Every structure is written in structure tokens, then in C-alpha cells.
Structure 1
Amino acid sequence: MTTARSQTWLAIFFIVMGAILRVTRHVGWLPLPPNFAPVSAMGLFSASRLPRKYGVLVPLGLMLLSDAVIGFDRWTITLAVYLSFLASAGLGFWLRRRVSFGRWIFATLAGSVIFFLVTNAAVWMFGKIYPSSIIGLWQSYIAGLPFFRNTLAGDLVYSSMFFGLHHLVVVYFRQRALARDLPPHG
């Protein structure tokens, strides 16, 4: 498990699980609140753990696949969600240089805030609910605050799961390999 290849497959496994969680939550098999989804965590985790060429492509492909299953929103909203995902992936590329608790928290919180700002601005800009003024934009952000709470909670939970479980599995197999290489005592 200490090889780069096996760690890549482990990371892909967690990203696939994130896509499955996204679908099962949406179809109602998991009774979770709106916006409590693994999208941002998938982008952050994959870009920080997968080889560069797959860091965005694998989770982006899984998002497209899961959106095909659960249904796409209006193209303007879908575009905002995908742009927010790419921002989280960008934070993941920044995080890959050195993962620490502080950098991980910053990247997770920044991804949540970016998602909130971008998607609510898209609802305001392309929807018909809010007036086309700065007041309308503020109304959109205020109305989105309950969803932001869920987004933030979901990002923290899923990101903790992806990074934490990945770390635990890698450490476990590294310890086993070290123990196997030790000479027998006697």
C-alpha cells in the first residue's frame, strides 16, 4: 500500500464512494439535508492525492456521471457548480505541496465559501427570483445562508472522511510493511 500506484487506487476508491454518496443522498436513500454533498471535498481530495493528470479528470468525470443519473440543473447553475468544483480542485493542487491541519482547514473552508458565493451569484444573475441589483444579490446571499451551513458541514465531514481514512489506511499498510521487514526477535 505504500506504492504510489496503490495509493492512487485508494484515492480513486474514495472519490467513487463520494460520487455514490452524492447519488444516494439525492435519490433519498440517505436522509441528509440539501447541499450536504461531497462535491467540494471530492475536488479538494482528488487534486491533492491523485497524479496531476487525473486530479481533476477523475472526479469531474464522476460528477458528470452522477449528474447524468440525478439530473442536470439549469446549465447556468450547473456551470456555477462545476466552476466551484474546479476552484476546490485548485485548492487541492495548492494543498498537495504540504498537507497540514491548518492548510486542510483553510482549503476546505475556502472551497465552501467559493461555492456559496459563486452559486448564489449565479442564482441571482440568471434566475428570476431576485431583482437585478446589489440588493437582489444580498437577498440571494441571505436566502442561501441555511444552505451554506449545510455546505460547510458537508465539506468538513466528507473532507475529513476522505483525507482521514486515506491517511489511516496508508499508515496502517506502511506499519505492516515495516513490521514484516523487521528481523524476528528471539
Structure 2
Amino acid sequence: MTKWIIATALGLALLYLIALYNGLVRLRHEVTRSWANIDVLLKQRHDELPKLVAVCQQYARFEQDTLTRVMEARSAVRDARARNDVPRIGALEEQLRGLLAQVWAVAEAYPELSADARFGELSARISRLEDAIADRRELYNEAVNNLNVRVESFPDTLVAQALGFTPARPLTFAARDKADVDIAALFQR
């Protein structure tokens, strides 16, 4: 009878450990999947940026410095994505978002550019992608939070540490980068 109780207890403990492990694996994959969704949208937006710059360049008076900074920021984000450096991506993406706001603000000073159908289509597409990225970022950060809670909670932390599970890093932006864009300041540059 004692052997049966010990065997049952060990079996239940093993099942519990398996359930903990599988739960951690599921959450880790959720973080990976959520990031992949963001990555797809970032790539789509980055594919649209050269088209937007090309349309703007057709208007000779448009600020070349602004367009150059947009392309440099795009390149820096692409490099950070290749290294899977989530905190750096967050900072660079926010910089790129600010530059895009500057492009749109400066474009308002060029009525012929603002009226250009291609510019309007690209601007609308990039804006929709921005909204989708924000939605996906929320889902990603929720997945990161769920994983981190499990990795840091007892008794899950024992299994997580033993099997190499580590907390994930959320995609965050600086408070100043989340503030409304000062359109008037953009025209003073």
C-alpha cells in the first residue's frame, strides 16, 4: 500500500512538473508569435517608406534632410530587427514615427504633394500599419507579461530556472515619445 501511495505521489508530481513545463513553453511560443506579428508589420511599413520618400523627392523643394533622416532611421531599425534587439527597436521605431510625423507636417506646406494621389495612398497605408503595430505591440507586451509572471512565480520559477526559461523584454517607448506631436515645432526646424 505504501509503495502505491509513493508511486501515485511521484506520478502526480511528475504530471504537475510536465504541466508547468508545457505552460511555460506555450507562453514562450506566444511571445515569439506575437513578436513575429509585429515584425511582419514593421517590414511592411519599412517597405512603404522608400516609396513615400521617392514621391516626396519628386517635389524638388521638399526638405531633403528630413527624407535622409527617415531613410537612416529605417536602416537603423532594420539592423536592430536583424539582431532581435527589442529595446533598441522600440527606441528606433519611436524615432522613426516622429520623423514620419515631421514628413506629414512638412508635406502640408506643399499643396501639390498633399494632393498627390500616391502620397495620399502611401500616407494612409503607413498610418494603418502604425495603428496595427500599436495593436500588436499591446498583444506582444501582454504575452511578455504572462510569460514573465510565470517565470517569476513560485513554483514555476524553479522549473523555469532549471530549464533555462528567462523573462522576455516588453516593447516600450519613452514617455516623451508617447506625447502628442508638436506640429508647430516641426515647421520651425
TM category (shorter chain) comes to 0.3 to 0.5
TM-score, structure 2 as length reference: 0.34
User: Larger relative CO (CA 8 A, sep 6+): 1 or 2?
Assistant: 2
Which of the pair has more CA radius of gyration?
Answer: 2
TM-score, structure 1 as length reference: 0.34
